[in-house]
Amino acid sequence: MSAVWDNIEATKAEVAEYKSAPGRARKSAVEAFFADDDEVEPGGTDDKVLAVLKRDSSHIMGLKLDMPRELWQRLERSSPIPWIFSHLNDLHVTPPSRWRGQPRIPFLAPHLRVLRSDGFEAYAIHQLVSSSLTTLVLLHAGSQRKAHVLATLRAVPNLEQLPLRVCLAEEEKGGMDAMMIANLPALRYFELCLEWEENLWLLGALRYPDTTSVIFGLSYVREWETAVLLEGVGTIINGAVLKKALRRCTIRIWGTDGLMIWFSRLPGDTNHTKREEAITLIFRCYKDDDEYGILGLLTENTSPSLAAVEHLPVQEMVVRTAASAHTWKNVLRAMPRVSDLVLIGNAAANFLVDIGPALWTHAAVADTSKAEDVFTQLENIALDQVTFGSANLVRSAYAYLLRFAQVLPIGREIKITVHEAVDLRDEDVRQVVLDVENLGPVLLAIEYLQLPRYEHAWKVLLWAITWVEEFRYRKSVTSPELKRSGMAHVKREWFPISSHASGDEQYMTYTLLHPLPMREGFLPMARHEDPTMPRPYGRQNHLTVVGLSQREDTHRLSPISRLPAELMVAILIGAIVDEKAASEKEGRSPHSWLKFLHVCGTWRQLIYTKSSLWTEFNATSADVTQYMLDRSGAQKAVVKGCMRGYPEERCEGILSVLQRESRRLESLDLDMHTETWRGYCLGNPEPWMLDELESLTVAMPMFWYAQAHLPFATAKLKTLESKNFDFRAIWPLMGPTLKKLVVRLDAALQTPRAVHATIRAVPNLEDLTLHVRLWRINLIDYLVTPQSITLPCLKRIELYINSEEHLRLLALLQYPITASTTFQLDCQDSLVVSALISGVSQAVNDVVARQGLHHCTMGEFNTSGIQITFARSRQEMEAGMSEQEFKLAVSGYHVDQEANIMGQLAQHLAPALALIEHLQFSRATNRNDRRAHACKVLFRAMIGVRELEAVGGKAAQFLWQILAPRSAQGTTGAGRLCPNLENVTLRWMPFGWPEEESKIDKAFRNLLSFAQCLQVGNYRTKLTIVDGINLPDEVVDRVRSIMVNLGWVGQIVVRGGWKL
């Protein structure tokens, strides 16, 4: 049992000797802490411990040394030959504090992977670093030379984690090469303490991937020094946030005297892990009076990053002073695109209540014209883990929720969602909704969810066993508690469908497969007929059923057995299909359709006997997978397994069941850990015989470069979608039966030869999507002219283009001109922007001219770029012609390059733009004047436009910004940019609110401004408003009369409308 002695605490020589002897056959972890005495006795206990460690150094895997100064010095003098740790993986060394003139550590560890230095300078540990090191923690408060730090970092090219807290000294002239840089291509986590201005130089000397998670820590010492640091790091943060599309910003208190701001991806982005590509800024050690200045500097230097935020979680926040409350208003004003605000805990909710009066105008304010422009796009507010009141105070929850609702802006459509509320009752919510509606249209809906305690869940279950669909219980519930609740006899009948974690407690969600006997042939129409039973707290998943009720008695039970058998089956199948689609769209349990087992015995028997209902399911566990396959009988199965968050044992159990039943699978979707895929792809694994498989989707979170092949043998495969798999891995799956191929691989570069060979192997392809990066071709590829690639059956193609190699691939592809095409241009490299646009322009102009694509839609692409879509007109599509589209998406460029991008598009796409007759704006926003000015270049090239259409308020505002400015000749943008314009259509545009007189004036001004844009230079233009929002008839008549008096002969036509 040598494993017992692996972890050794070397306090004495005898202890180290005794414990290390049994573990020599294994690799031990040793921790040696020596007292920091003023005098160390030569040849004493400390020297004996070091002698034992030196003798047994060959089998030590982990070592932690914390010694006084004299022992470190004696260690260097007594070791002319370095200690060799042949198996050392983890080393942690700590010298005494404030020690200058440190000796070098006389250790050699060729396989060292983790090195933590709590106080040593960079030159002292330089002998330990090598290419095998993956984690380096360098903490040192004293100043040290830049060259030493940079030399240490240059020696660890495979570093993955790098926390740094160093103070760099100012170098004398000629002391080092200013162009020295350190390349860290494998870095995944980087933390840098920015307490000194010299550290900005170190930050500029490091080169690491864009996917690195970065943390910057600033300690507030002097305002001018903090301003310099924020100016330097703000540029890096702004570039990273805009380039990586980090639209989520988390703000919280850091400790007792700090602030943390964390930029990350949106919660719905499943392509990245939680911490991947995140960037964090932490302020430490500042006083309450300094918060005003810090927030001002933060807003000034990171305004582009704040302007891109769409999702804002706030946690453990507090307003320190009255001045900081006003400054927080300026910070939040810099986030105009925030649509989702998440307040976690009571401190965050109180924070919004405290600064709410400074953010929005409320009902108590008489002058509503001074409304603040803060969170103009806010749609959702979530309250998470908030305690609303006390059980002893009946009205405390109502007062807290009402106080929160009253600080929200009036006239805005904001939805409030409360998760895991404490002491919040139904009647409190209803009363708040009524009171708030009396103040104005503040809230549209309040949804709330409480996780009931398990005792209450049992009571609800016993009371309404005939209609409850699912319940939760804590995993810590013991058998005696189950027996006391009376549910022990039915526990085995419940079917697990999901798991939930709340704090330190784990919850399991179950649904009933075999409910207790109920009244056959009847539907429970009235569920709360017994007044003695308590009403369950929280939101229940009420069952939607179909019954035959009569008008004179709506609570009368209707026998469902009276329905014909064919109608019963049709209703059941339709309900299950709708439930599956809704659960997938809303992110609910994929097995929620099992709730229809509770409707009646007839439906339960139909579900059990109809095996086709069990063929499509999610593989959540081995038991669930086997149960579903057994129920489906001999039918072909459609299986989806998103197992990225599952443990290894659970994944192996699911895969073993799927491999055993592989011949029955018709569609398979697998998303697993990289390590799980590696175990199934490396070596010579046993192939899965997928004789009936027609659709296959494989994905993993990150790419790995090993030579591997997917162990699947298919003969009828028609659809293949892969993410982060090399072309060598999917090559065995290529064949003439394949109709759809989707390959997404962002992290690794692929050779053009591999891509060409893969496409040639699927000649009957109908749908092709390639999102890959290509190597630059070498001299041999230049000399050899590749053959063209013919795809005669292609109906849709989507290509990612960011280099000239992609243009060469596009030139080789030959496919029908009728295929719908999407080109996504990545313009991060400004040197090839002109070449990319010029390379694809010929294909765009040719297709638009030959196919007659006269309808164009413009809008944003991925929140930062622009997308132009060419299609047929509505009349041609209604006449039965094909719905062909040609999409050109341009993204990845900086906002300063937007004018150049638009100019290049207008120059090279001039033939196609001149053929446009109908132009529609969708998902367009005027983020700045620069974008509106840049788009005018495209407008000048669209000389044939006869109809303009804007969908939504944002698109209408963007169109107005382009058309409204007047030229020196007195002609508006409408007459100057669109000389043939005949009609302008505004669809679904909100004009104002009709309840108050000032809001009616706002609707009048909005409509009048559009009419005036069309007055000068183009008198016969018609303004059509389709489904306008809050546009009263008197406003339309008033604008018509004014325009007639001004001599305008155009028309204002209103079709439909909405009043909110």
Does residue 76 register a pLDDT over 90? no
Task: Give the H/E segment covering residue 971.
Answer: none
For residue 200, CA distances in Å to 147, 179, 212, 231, 235 come to: 15, 14, 18, 10, 11
Does residue 984 register a pLDDT over 50? yes
Amino acid, single-letter form, for residue 894: H
For residue 714, CA distances in Å to 364, 662, 727, 732 come to: 70, 10, 17, 9
Q: What is the pLDDT of residue 785?
A: 67
- CA–chain centroid gap for 868, Å, is 25
Burial tier of 159 (Cβ tally within 10 Å: 0-12, 13-18, 19+): buried
pLDDT average, residue stretch 107-123: 84
Give the strand pairing for 259-264 and 248-253. Answer: antiparallel
pLDDT average, residue stretch 1009-1020: 70
- DSSP label at 786? P
Give the strand pairing for 1052-1058 and 1022-1029. Answer: parallel
Q: Which of 915-929, 1009-1023, 1026-1040 tops mean pLDDT?
A: 1026-1040
Distance, in Å, from the CA atom of 93 to the CA atom of 119, rounded to the nearest integer, reads 8
Can you give the C-alpha Rg of the chain in angstroms?
34
Q: State pLDDT tens for residues 221-233.
A: 566 677 778 888 8
Q: What is the pLDDT of residue 555?
A: 37
Amino acid, single-letter form, for residue 618: N
Two structure tokens written together for 706: 């090993």
Residues contacting residue 476 through CB under 8 Å, at least 6 positions apart: 505, 506
Burial tier of 647 (Cβ tally within 10 Å: 0-12, 13-18, 19+): exposed
Task: Give the H/E segment covering residue 731.
Answer: none
Percentage of residues in the chain having pLDDT higher than 90? 11
Two structure tokens written together for 1043: 């325009």
pLDDT band at 525 (very low <50, low <70, confident <90, very high): very low
Among 450-459, 836-845, 1040-1049, name the one with the lowest average pLDDT.
Answer: 450-459
Closest CA to 596 of 544, 527, 550, 671: 544
Give the N- to C-terminal CA distance of the chain in Å, as an integer.
75
- DSSP label at 685? P
Q: Count the Cβ atoms, other than its own, within 10 Å of residue 567.
A: 10
Helix (H, G, I), strand (E, B) or coil at 319: coil
Tokens 């660890």 map to which residue?
156
- DSSP label at 199? H
Give the strand pairing for 1022-1029 and 983-987. Answer: parallel
Distance, in Å, from the CA atom of 687 to the CA atom of 603, rounded to the nearest integer, reads 40
Residues contacting residue 143 through CB under 8 Å, at least 6 positions apart: 167, 168, 169
Does residue 554 register a pLDDT over 60? no
Q: How would DSSP label each residue in 861-921?
A: ETTTEEEEEEE--HHHHHTT----EEEEEEES--GGGHHHHHHHHHHHTHHHHHT--EEEE
Two structure tokens written together for 339: 């649509």
Does residue 768 register a pLDDT over 90? yes
Q: What is the pLDDT of residue 847?
A: 92
Summary count for the chain: helices (H), strands (E): 32, 45
Percentage of residues in the chain having pLDDT higher than 70? 67
Please say whether the beta carbons of 85 and 61 come within 8 A: no
Tokens 């300094």 map to which residue?
290
**Residue 1039 or 197, more confident:** 1039
Q: What is the pLDDT of residue 374?
A: 73
Please say whether the beta carbons of 921 and 959 come within 8 A: yes
Q: What is the pLDDT of residue 373?
A: 57
- DSSP label at 561? G
Q: Give φ, ψ of 888 to 5 degrees.
A: -125, 110
Helix (H, G, I), strand (E, B) or coil at 747: strand
Please say whether the beta carbons of 842 and 827 come within 8 A: no
pLDDT average, residue stretch 989-997: 65
The crossing angle, in degrees rounded to 10, of helices 601-609 and 565-586 is 80
Two structure tokens written together for 662: 């592989």
Distance, in Å, from the CA atom of 12 to the CA atom of 46, rounded to the nearest integer, reads 7
Two structure tokens written together for 938: 């495209």
Does residue 969 register a pLDDT over 60? no
Task: Give the H/E segment covering residue 796.
Answer: strand 796-801
- DSSP label at 425? -
For residue 56, CA distances in Å to 7, 80, 83, 89 come to: 14, 18, 10, 15
Q: State pLDDT tens for residues 827-884.
A: 888 778 888 999 999 999 999 999 889 999 988 877 668 899 999 876 665 555 667 8
Q: How would DSSP label each residue in 798-846?
A: EEEE-SHHHHHHHHHEE--TTSEEEEEEE--SGGGHHHHHHHHHHHHHH
Does residue 645 register a pLDDT over 50? yes
Please say whether the beta carbons of 302 and 237 come within 8 A: yes
pLDDT band at 23 (very low <50, low <70, confident <90, very high): very low
**Residue 617 or 399, more confident:** 617
pLDDT average, residue stretch 465-482: 37
Does residue 618 register a pLDDT over 60? yes
Distance, in Å, from the CA atom of 576 to the CA atom of 3, rounded to the nearest integer, reads 55
Q: How many residues does the chain have?
A: 1060
